[in-house]
Structure formats: C-alpha cells, structure tokens
Structure 1
Amino acid sequence: MAGKEPELPPSLADVRLVITDVDGVLTDGGIYYDATGECLKRFHVRDGLGIHLLEENGVRVAVVSGRDSETLRKRVADLGVTLFQFGVKDKFAACRALMAQADATPGQTVCIGDDSIDLPAFAACGLSYAVADAASYVKARATGVLSARGGEGAFRELADGILLAQGKAEVFGTAEGFATVMSGITQ
C-alpha cells in the first residue's frame, strides 16, 4: 500500500556462505577416545565433496564448533576450508565474524546445526537448517529440517539443495558437469 515492494525472505538461491557445526552435523555426534586420550571422529565423505562443490561454485563454507581438537583441525585442513572458528561459546558472534570475513550478509548466509548451542547461529543467519536427528526444539527454530541425520550426509543434502536452487545441479548430477569441478577435489 505504501508503493514499496515487500522484502522477500532469503532463499537458497541467494546463499553465498554456509556455516556448519561439526559434532552432530559433519559427524554423528559421537566422540571416541583411544588409550592415549586422542579424540577420534567419523566424518562422511559425501559431506566433504559437498563442501568442495559449493566452494567451486562460488559459495564459501565456514566451520564453527564449540569444541577444538587436532582431529577437527586435520579434517578442516584436508578439505581446504579457510573460514573457521573453534572452541566457540557464542555462535551468534562467531557467525557474524565469519560473515564479515566472507563479505556476506545474513540474508546470504545459511547455517546448519543440531543442538541448543546452534540456536544463536540460527538467529544470526538468514536461513537455518537442522539435521534430521536434531532435538525437536532445535528443529522448531530452523527454517528447514533435512532428511539426513548428522554424520550421514546432511551437509551434502543442503549443499545439493543450494546448488539446485542456484541452477547448478549439473555439477553433482551429470558426468559432464562434475568434470568441470573435479580437479583437486578431495572427499
């Protein structure tokens, strides 16, 4: 009525930054310790490929975790992720700092989480997704809920959704499309 177009809500087509939690999203949430006290985690390779597919298509990926470990640092380094914050207690502030580093607005940012510690990240970002096995109160605060559980390809499900929304499904859905991004990709 005021002659202005209504502001559209953020969509996956607008995403330029994905911020992901680790435990319960990139892993199944389990933490294993060996006899020397070394922390071991299980990561899903499809999530790693999803990170590379996004990065190769102009969408930055950042990792934010309430924990810090050599295992986590090794996985992030293996994937070539350069935006990260570990040992974070305030995920709202961490997400805003990562957005500034990536030159992305909240409306261009989506986060993925699974537990209460991720709720401030949901509030900081324009879009938020919960993994299928997240707590019900976390799912209730998310923009969307993924069908995959944490550590079982949930990040990849979101990555594919972003690429599909941005008209780039060929990079994961065809041999020809994948060939354009496959050099240097690791899982």
Structure 2
Amino acid sequence: MKLAELTARARRIRLVLTDCDGVLTDGGVYYSERGEEMKRFNIRDGMGVVRLREHGIASGIITGEVSPSVRTRAAKLQIEELHLGIKDKTACLQEILDRTGLQADEIAFIGDDTNDIEILSRVGFSACPGDATSFARAVADFHCQTPGGHGCFRELAEFIIAAQLGNGHS
C-alpha cells in the first residue's frame, strides 16, 4: 500500500487496539521460582498511549492471556478498553464497535501472529511489529521497523499522530 493511502487511513483513526505479547512485550515470559509470571513493557510504548490520548485517540488492549501484569500496566496507562482472555478477537472488535458507535475504518490494530490475522483484516488500519510472523506481515498495512516490546506501538502511534496533524506522511 502506498504511503498516501496509509496516511489517509491513519487520519480516520479514533481508537488504536493492540495485542499484548509480541507487541507491547517482546514475547518472552519470565517465571519466578514461586510461579509468578512477569512481562517486560517498554516505557516508550506507554508514552505512545499518552500521546494518542493527548490527540483525542483512545487505546485498548485485546489479548488472549489473562495476566495480572497486563491489567496493572493498563491501569497505569489509564487504558479503558482492556480485554483479557479473548480467544475471538474479531468478536471482541464487533462488541467494541457496537458499544462505542465507531466504524471499523476508525480503528487501528497492531498484532504479530496468526491469532491476530482476522482482526488485522477487519480494521481500517492494520499494523505489525518489525519482527512479526510472516502470517501477520502478509495482511498488515503498516510494517513497523521496531520489533515487539521495543517501541513498535509508539512507532505506530507517532505515524497516526503525524498523519492526523498533516506532518511528514503525505
């Protein structure tokens, strides 16, 4: 897809949804000897959420995992659209559309693997981290240069913000 079309699509975005593992994290999971699961999040991605909000764009997380660390991170970032334990991300998207009155072309989604393909195909602007699987890369409109867990959400956020401000992506 050409840059002009990507920019035009990005201008319509009102909500950016993301997968968690492999996008907000590097896909690794740490376990303590007590079995506690820990995930590493990138502060720059968090600033992406803040910057989107400052520009009137909401953020949300849709993940198949049920992780207290994701809930804690979402609370810290004041993310209201938090959907944990979701096996059917497309049905979750439809519930969000029905509840908010948004249209699919007003939603961006960034995902990295096969369980994200269907939702990537249904939103107005789809993206993937630089190290996404070939399956996700094949359907995503925008391929971040940054890998998952290392600022790819921020890269996407800045592209959308720049497009909406009319800066640098026309």
TM-score over 0.5 for the alignment? yes
C-alpha separation between the residues in 2 aligned to 1:52 and 1:39?
A: 26
Max radius of gyration: which structure? 1
Of stretches 30-39 and 97-106 in structure 1, the one that deviates more from structure 2 is: 97-106
C-alpha separation between the residues in 2 aligned to 1:103 and 1:63?
A: 18
Q: Which amino acid aligns with 1:145?
A: H
Offset at 1:99? 2.9
Q: Which residue of 1 aligns with 2:89?
A: 91
C-alpha separation between the residues in 2 aligned to 1:144 and 1:54?
A: 17
Check the 8 A contact 2:17/2:108 in 1, yes or no. yes
Report whether the alignment pairs 1:130 with 2:136: no
Offset at 1:136? 1.1
Q: Which runs of 5+ in 2 are unaligned?
A: none
Equivalenced residue count is 162
Q: Which residue of 1 aligns with 2:20?
A: 22
Offset at 1:124? 2.4
Q: Which amino acid aligns with 1:151?
A: G
1:15 is paired with a residue whose SS is coil
- What's the TM-score once normalised by structure 2's chain length? 0.90
Q: Which amino acid aligns with 1:75?
A: R
Offset at 1:101? 3.5
C-alpha separation between the residues in 2 aligned to 1:88 and 1:127?
A: 21
Offset at 1:123? 2.3
C-alpha separation between the residues in 2 aligned to 1:106 and 1:67?
A: 24
Offset at 1:168? 7.2
1:104 is paired with a residue whose SS is coil
Aligned Cα RMSD in Å? 1.6
Q: Which residue of 2 aligns with 1:179?
A: none
C-alpha separation between the residues in 1 aligned to 2:10 and 2:106?
A: 8
Which structure 1 residue ranges, 4+ long, deviate > 6 Å from structure 2?
A: none
Q: Which runs of 5+ in 1 are unaligned?
A: 1-7, 170-187
Q: Which residue of 1 aligns with 2:80?
A: 82
